A and B are shown apart, each in its own frame.
Chain A
Amino acid sequence: MVNKLPPATRQPHSYPGKLIAVEGLDGSGKSTQLYLVRRWLELEGYKVFFTEWNSSSIVKNATKRGKKRNLLTPTTFSLIHCTDFADRYERNILPMLKAGFIVLADRYKYTALARDTVRGCSERWVEKLYSFAAQPDITFYFHLPLKTALGRILAGRPELKYHEAGMDLGLSPDPVESFKIFQGRIHKSYEALSKKHGFTRIASDRPIEAMQEEVRDIIRAQIDLPRFKVVNR
């Protein structure tokens, strides 16, 4: 068998599966919402697969080393995360889309687009870098006023990590202050992406149940769910 690179995908994808992604700032409630979607689809008996944006040991080691020797630049930071994403994409997401599953992604390539452009990478470059990853069928963007988001995150997190706080950008010597500026820029970046890529916007400053109801309604309307029923044998 010839081991070849799959072609870069343009929207929309033609795989039998469906891809639903959630994006938004930390504290926007996206993970909770996606968890509830997952439970709903599983309990209703649909073929569903969940994947989340977390770093593999490869990236963790490299970023640790990079940080220690101050080696990471915006470009290498972007590339190392894309390497990690590609591995996850081709190992988990793509096979599941081909196998006809509803794939639920807690953060997707837009997380990288938002973050890397804030770090100074060219938007065109990062977008092309991630062009191999299929466009989701629905991208839910959980948005809320920046102030609310910051309050939620900072309340539950006493210590901020170096890159998480955007300390590498030299915005402020104070991690909390740096984090606030950094998140503000990411927020702006998300807003721009939302327009450009047609995200489905969900207002996050509401009760969990109300948000979930809206999310499920949208999924029901846009995805032919019966097609994804698990067939009992």
Chain B
Amino acid sequence: MTIAKRFYGEGLPGVDPASLNGKLIVLEGADGSGRSTQTALLTDWLERRGHAVTHVGLRRSELVGEELAAAKNGNVLSPRTLSLFYATDFADQIENRIVPALRAGFVVLADRYIYTLMARDIVRGAEIDWLRSVYSIAPVPDLVIYLTVPPQQLLERFIYRGRNLDYWESGMDIGYSRDWFDSFIRYQTDLHRVFTQLQREYGFDIVNGNRSRQAVTRDLQARIEAVVDPPEEKKG
């Protein structure tokens, strides 16, 4: 069973959807939900099985990565400008990393995807309609996994690792509260609500991330295996 790789919208100028033979697998979830750990474990597992893997994430483009980092530190851009900056960064990665890798038959592991970008903006009051159109340039993934961990649990993980709360991940720019912890809980709760909304439209697999690392890995592997090594495509 081969599903032709499609785009959410009209696609990208000059890109033939039929040429995208690889697999695109997306891991979504809050900071502290175990995305990075699982990505590393899944990479080992996939490579052991003979799959070539490439990674993409947010804010990693060569095009505007620097400017975006600077803008975030300065907090001088309007929400719309910041939103478009992220879209530029992401479009650059779609065209210069994701599409070439899919063309070459790679498994692309995306540490977050357009849904995080959309959810962040929706929580800040953006129209979903506008975002849906902006991100219609994105290829439809073969699998989207949303790792859920309750906000309280995320906080405990942060504290346990001796990490400070991040200004943006705590939604401090939104102005829920001057208290970081309070703001964090409310922001993450809102994000989760929006993700649940997006799930209905875009169809994610919701995976409970509030379990042992091994249990989560096994769960993810089973779902990914069904996509990258479906029984009828296995050779020898």
Interface residues of A (CB under 8 A from B): 1-8, 58, 61-62, 65-66, 69, 71-76, 79-80, 82-83, 86-87, 90-91, 119-122, 124-125, 128-129, 131-132
List the B residue with the shortest CB-CB distance to A74. B13
List the B residue with the shortest CB-CB distance to A58. B67
The answer, yes or no, to whether B153 is at the interface (CB within 8 Å) is: no
A-B residue pair count with CB separations less than 8 angstroms: 111
Chain B 79-113, CB-CB to A under 8 Å as 1, else 0, gives: 11101110110011011100000000000000000
Q: Is the CB of B81 within 8 A of A86?
A: yes
Known: A2-B174, A3-B124, A125-B133. A73 touches B78 (CB 8 A): no
Interface residues on chain B, number (Cβ under 8 Å): 40
Q: Is the CB of A79 within 8 A of B79?
A: no
Chain B residues contacting A8 (CB-CB under 8 Å) are 127, 129-130
Chain A residues contacting B88 (CB-CB under 8 Å) are 62, 76, 79-80, 83
Q: Is the CB of B87 within 8 A of A79?
A: yes
The answer, yes or no, to whether B173 is at the interface (CB within 8 Å) is: yes
List the A residue with the shortest CB-CB distance to B96. A71
Known: A2-B174, A61-B67, A62-B63. A83 touches B79 (CB 8 A): no
The answer, yes or no, to whether B9 is at the interface (CB within 8 Å) is: yes
The answer, yes or no, to whether B136 is at the interface (CB within 8 Å) is: yes
B178 to chain A, nearest CB (A): 12
Q: Is the CB of A75 within 8 A of B13?
A: yes
List the B residue with the shortest CB-CB distance to A57. B67
Q: Is the CB of B81 within 8 A of A90?
A: yes
Chain A residues contacting B83 (CB-CB under 8 Å) are 5
